[in-house]
Structure 1
Amino acid sequence: MPLILFNKPFQVMSQFSAHAERETLSDYIDIPNVYPAGRLDADSEGLLLLTDDGKLQHEISHPRRKQPKTYLAQVEGSASLPALQQLRDPLDLGDFVTQGSQARLIQEPEWMWPRNPPIRERKNQPTSWIALTISEGKNRQVRRMTAAVGLPTLRLVRIAIGPFSLATHPVLPGEWREVDPAELEK
């Protein structure tokens, strides 16, 4: 029962089936019968876990299991303390209200790989980096949250799911490694 930690590059689809215009997981991972436990949209990068065990897949991805997911978001604008507090509190996104989250302003990570292609930059518009941890994972939730507080996301990188982190299990974009599923129990 392998558990694969994969660093999904920008614009790669979180699926194995062919896509007409984009690369998919099958372009990077040649292991039979593994499937992603959760998804990242094509515009997001970072940590994706894959397994061949349906029970383990459910444990990782189901919202009731509350595996925290940590994202680094480069946002347009200067993140203020009130905006960070709005992200920490339940936030009404129209079709649902988020649970509370952890949100803090961080410096641009020195270890972060460059994105290809680079994000668009405006000379008169600053950017900020926010570390955001949620235990939900609705469609485009982090992007919708930052936009709702006036900080549109320019780049989104998931760096951790539960105990698995790109900091403790470093892999570059497009690379993967096998990890011990027992780490979920810790």
Structure 2
Amino acid sequence: MLIALNKPYGVICQFSPHEKHRSLKDFVPVPNVYPAGRLDTDSEGLLLLTDDGQQQARIANPKFKLAKTYWAQLEGSPDADKLAQLTQPLDLGDFVAQPAKICLLNQDDVAKIWQRDPPIRERKTVPDFWLQIQIHEGKNRQVRRMTAKAGFPCLRLIRVGIGRVNLFDLGLELGEWRECSQLP
């Protein structure tokens, strides 16, 4: 069984209760499924859950090089030289992130994004923009760390794809889940 969930902001990627955050159990009332990879509590979007340990490993383990696609709202204005850093190996201190594929999002893409609760802080004097970032590793807070290293603090991070599974193709509203027939 493979389940796709559109995980809201503030939800922790575990089924057991947590003292500060809602858990997956609040959204997916299916027994014996587990997250195939994680999303930070402050990240949103596509999370796959499965009851198959081998499938979980194929999705989560970086050695299988499954593409993970994110939409990141970044502080600042797009600068080609700074953005180019993301497409090169990037030393993050404890590991070197492999090059990412990136592209700026257009207004039609941005229009698909739901409002976050609570909303992000907005500063009228500091611009922001949306960038699509595709990586194959998915280490702890990797996209946020990469964009910060390039000079673009991440204001909001939404995972929109894992392999061939795309959040928008599934039509999942925030907090919704469904069984998924498409394998990543």
Task: Give yes or no for TM over 0.5.
Answer: yes
Contact 1:84–1:104 (CA<8 Å) still a contact in 2? Answer: no
Task: Tell me which amino acid in the other structure corresponds to 2:145.
Answer: R
Per-residue CA distance 1:121-177 (angstroms, 9 max, x = gap):
111100011100000011000000010011000000000000000121110111001
> Percent of pairs identical after alignment?
53
- Alignment pair present for 1:121 and 2:151: no
CA–CA distance in 2 between the matches of 1:151 and 1:35? 33
Match of 2:44 in 1: 45
CA–CA distance in 2 between the matches of 1:44 and 1:161? 15
CA–CA distance in 2 between the matches of 1:119 and 1:59? 33
Matches within 5 A, 1:15-164: 15-108=14-107, 109-164=110-165
TM-score by length of 2: 0.96
Matches within 5 A, 1:171-186: 171-180=172-181, 183-184=183-184
Unaligned runs of 5+ in 1: none
CA RMSD of aligned residues (A): 0.9
TM-score by length of 1: 0.95
- 1:180 offset after TM fit, Å? 1.5
- 1:79 offset after TM fit, Å? 1.7
Per-residue CA distance 1:55-93 (angstroms, 9 max, x = gap):
110111110111100000001101211122101111011
Moved more, 43-52 or 161-170: 161-170
Task: Tell me which amino acid in the other structure corresponds to 1:99.
Answer: Q
CA–CA distance in 2 between the matches of 1:82 and 1:104? 14
CA–CA distance in 1 between the matches of 2:106 and 2:72? 11
- 1:120 offset after TM fit, Å? 0.3
CA–CA distance in 1 between the matches of 2:87 and 2:168? 23
Match of 2:9 in 1: 10
Q: What SS does the aligned partner of 2:173 have?
A: coil
- 1:107 offset after TM fit, Å? 2.6
Unaligned runs of 5+ in 2: none
CA–CA distance in 1 between the matches of 2:47 and 2:129? 24
CA–CA distance in 2 between the matches of 1:114 and 1:145? 24
Per-residue CA distance 1:15-48 (angstroms, 9 max, x = gap):
0011001100000111010000000000000000
CA–CA distance in 2 between the matches of 1:152 and 1:145? 9
